[in-house]
Amino acid sequence: MVSEDFYAEEMRELDRRGIRTVLDSEGEPLRLGIESEPFIVSPNQVEAEALVDQEFTDPEDFVIALDDIAEQGARNVLISYETGCYALLREERRVRRFRADCERIEAISAVGAGDVLLAAFIAARAAGRGAEESLRAAVSAGAASTLEVGAGRFEPREAGRLAAHTLVEELEPVTAE
């Protein structure tokens, strides 16, 4: 068994070497890991609610959580939920916030869908795709994976079909009133 600060310590070491890190964990390892400023952190809705100590009841709660998690140390944030994700992405000295949402489908198994979403996002960004296109690819791949039995599996053609029904919108930050 490793200590709860294992990810945090390893990410700090990788950062010192100029290696970008991605954190997908839960509980205290997630909380401690975010403090080490990972390049991307990817909690699901329940994990994000625990991080910010608030239940999400409307879209504004997700946007506020994106900013809160970024303030805790994450450079980029993807919060996945049942039909999509919210994202805070830093690009060219700008902070942009997005919501990407796929049509609701009858899922067979959601196990591993968040992992597929994250992997598809990273692959799209590594291929040079822009934020919107990367989020569309990520959400549609994650949704397609819910139509398969077995974590991490999805049919690329199904992801392509779902991409046509995935809405990506840029959001404004929530301002305090």
Asked whether residue 160 is domain-assigned, the answer is yes
The answer to whether position 69 is within a domain reads yes
Domain count, the chain: 1
Q: In this structure, what CATH number is given to the domain that contains residue 140?
A: 3.40.1190.20
Q: Domain range for residue 167?
A: 6-171
120 and 84 Cβ atoms separated by less than 8 Å: no
> Domain for residue 177, yes or no?
no
Encode pLDDT of 112-128 as tens digits. Answer: 899 999 999 999 999 99
Q: Is residue 71 part of a domain?
A: yes
Q: What is the pLDDT of residues 65-95, one digit of tens each?
A: 999 999 999 999 999 999 999 999 998 889 9
Tokens of 77: 């944030």
> Residue 142's pLDDT band (boundaries 50, 70, 90)?
very high
Structural domain contains residue 161: yes
Residue 67 resides in a domain: yes
pLDDT, one tens digit per residue, over 20-78 is 999 999 999 999 999 999 999 999 999 999 999 999 999 999 999 999 999 999 999 99
**Do 95 and 63 touch, CB atoms closer than 8 A?**
no
